[in-house]
């Protein structure tokens, strides 16, 4: 019984963990892309990325990924999504 429960928990935990891991990779891509940019859209992108990072810290990974996509769009950055 314990093994079955553990199995169910692991199946559920895997997608969440994959999502959780996506956020830092998006943050890294954004950091790299705007590292030497100081135009207005880069500023907007940094603000939106900071909001996304907060969502990630709050455990809201799906919303965080959406926020990163929104940030990237605002700053003309192409994000590579983990599959």
Binding site for Cu ion (CB under 5 A): 20, 23, 56, 61, 64
Output the smallest distance, CB 78 to Cu ion, in A.
20
**Plot region of 59 (φ>0 → left; ψ -120 to 50 → alpha; else → beta):** left
Output the smallest distance, CB 16 to Cu ion, in A.
9
Cα three-residue angle 57-77-49, rounded to 5 degrees = 20
Output the smallest distance, CB 60 to Cu ion, in A.
7
CB-nearer residue toward Cu ion: 20 or 79:
20
The H or E element that residue 45 is part of is helix 40-57
């Amino acid at each position: 019984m314990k093994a079955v429960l553990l199995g169910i928990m692991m199946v559920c935990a895997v997608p969440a963990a994959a999502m959780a891991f996506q956020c830092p990779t998006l943050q890294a891509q954004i950091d790299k892309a705007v590292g030497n940019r100081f135009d207005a859209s880069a500023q907007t992108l940094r603000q939106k990325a900071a909001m996304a990072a907060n969502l990630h810290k709050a455990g809201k990974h799906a919303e965080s990924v959406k926020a990163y996509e929104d940030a990237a769009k605002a700053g003309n950055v192409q994000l590579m999504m983990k599959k």
